[in-house]
Amino acid sequence: MPENTSTTVEESAVPVATAAGSAVKGTKDKKDKPERVASMWSDARRDLMRNWVFLVSASLILILLVIAAFPQLFTSGDPYAKGFCGLSNSVVPPSGAHWFGFDVQGCDIYTRTIYGTRNSIIVGVMTSVLTTLVGCVLGMVAGLRGGWLDVLVSRFTEVWFAVPTMLGGLLVLAMLGTGSVVTVSLILAVLGWPQLFRIMRGAVITNKQNDYVMAARALGASGWRIAMRHVLPNALAPVLVISTINLGVYISAEAAFSYLGIGVQSPNISWGLMISDGQDRFLSAPHMVLFPSLFLSVTVLAFIMLGEAVRDALDPKLR
C-alpha cells in the first residue's frame, strides 16, 4: 500500500513539473519578444482608422486631389480649347449627354467644374503650406528663445493679427486690379500666418517646460536636438489641426474673391467665378449655380471634417 502511494505521487509530480517548465519557458519567450512602444502619433493613427468621419472625408479629399491632378480622366472635353463653347447651347439644361448643362456662353458646366477643382485645391494647399511654415518657424524661434526676441515678434504679430484676412485680401486685390492663383495664395498666406504663430508659440512654451525636455538639457543635448526631437513633435499636433481646417477656409476665401471679381479671372476657371457668372440667371437656369456651389461646399466640408477628426485623435483629453 505505501509503495503504490509513493508511485502515484511521483507519477503525478511529472506533469506538474512539465507544466511548470512550460510556464517558465512561455514567460521567458514572452519577455524575449519586443513590446510595441505606444506614442501619441501611433495612437492617433489607430483612432483615425476607426473613425468613419476621417475615412469619409479622406476618401472625398483623395478623389478631389485626383480630379485636380488628372481632370482629363473624368471628362473628354477641354475648356481651354478653341471652339469648346457654342452660343447655340446657351443655358441648355442638364441632360444625359451633358450632366450639368451649359452656361450662358454655351460651355459645358461639368467640364468647367472638373477643371476648376485644380485652381481651388492649389490655392488651399499652397496657402496652408506657406502659413504653416511661417507660423511654425517664427513660433518655434520665439517660444524657445524667449526674452526680447519673443516680445518683439509677439508684438509685431499682434499688430498684424488685427488686420482681418478677408478685408485685407479684398483691399490688396482691389488695388492690384486682378488676381491669379499664385497672387491669391500669397495674399492669404501673408495675412493668415499670425494665427498659426500664436498656436505654435503657446505649444512650444508649454512643452519646453516638461520634465523630458529638462532631462535632455541636463544630459547635455544641444538646443537643435531638443527643438527637433522633443519640442517640435509634441507641439506640432494643434498646428496640423488648424492648418487642415484652414485649408477649407482658404478655398472658400478664393471662391469669394473670384465671385466678387477680384480673384481668379478668365480664361482661368474657378468655382467662385462660375457662381458669379450664373447668379443673374439663378431663377431661369439654377444649374449654372447649383453644381459649382455643390462642389465647393463638399470640398470645404471634407477638409473641415478631416480637421475635426484629426483634432479628436490628437487630443489626449478627447481620447
More confident residue, 264 or 64: 64
Going by C-alpha positions, the residue among 78, 70, 122, 77 that lies closest to residue 267 is 78
* One-character DSSP codes across the chain: -HHHHHHHHHHHHHHHHHHHHHHHHHHHHHHHSPPPPP-HHHHHHHHHHT-HHHHHHHHHHHHHHHHHH-GGGT-S--TTSTT---GGGTTPPP-SSSTT-B-TT--BHHHHHHHHHHHHHHHHHHHHHHHHHHHHHHHHHHHHH-HHHHHHHHHHHHHHHTS-HHHHHHHHHHHHS-B-HHHHHHHHHHHHHHHHHHHHHHHHHHHTTSHHHHHHHHTT--HHHIIIIIIHHHHHHHHHHHHHHHHHHHHHHHHHHHHTTSSB-TTS--HHHHHHHHGGGTTT-THHHHHHHHHHHHHHHHHHHHHHHHHHHH-TTT-
Lowest average pLDDT, out of 10-24, 122-136, 143-157, goes to 10-24
pLDDT digits (tens, 9 = 90+) for 161-205: 888 888 888 888 888 876 788 889 999 999 999 999 999 998 888
Ranges 26-30, 76-80, 96-100, 256-260: which has the least confidence: 26-30
Cα–Cα dist 92/90, whole Å: 6
Asked if residue 207 lies in contact with residue 231, where contact means CB atoms within 8 angstroms, the answer is yes
pLDDT at 23: 44
Give dist(CA 123, CA 268) in Å, integer: 13
Percentage above 90 pLDDT, the chain: 29
Residue 162 is which amino acid? A
pLDDT digits (tens, 9 = 90+) for 252-310: 999 998 888 888 888 888 898 899 888 888 888 888 999 999 999 999 999 999 988 88
Provide the pLDDT confidence category of residue 316 given band limits of 50, 70 and 90. low
Q: At residue 102, what are phi and psi to the nearest 5 degrees?
A: -125, 155
For residue 163, what pLDDT is reported? 84
Residue 18: predicted pLDDT: 45
Closest CA to 200 of 165, 244, 231: 231
Span 103-118, mean pLDDT?
Answer: 91
pLDDT of residue 47: 80
Angle 240-300-108 from CA coordinates, rounded to 5°: 140
DSSP string, 104-143: TT--BHHHHHHHHHHHHHHHHHHHHHHHHHHHHHHHHHHH
Q: Residue 12: pLDDT above 80?
A: no
pLDDT score for 313: 81
| Per-residue cell: 88 | 447655340
65 pLDDT more than 80: yes
- % of the chain at pLDDT higher than 70: 85
**Per-residue pLDDT at 37:** 52
Q: What is this structure's pTM?
A: 0.79
More confident residue, 79 or 35: 79
The confidence score (pLDDT) of residue 56 equals 93
Q: Which residues have CB under 8 Å from 1's CB, separation 6+?
A: none
For residues 137 and 196, give the distance between their C-alpha atoms in angstroms, rounded to a whole number: 10
Please report where in the chains the cell 500666418 appears, as a residue: 193
Residue by residue, DSSP assigns 282-318 as TTT-THHHHHHHHHHHHHHHHHHHHHHHHHHHH-TTT
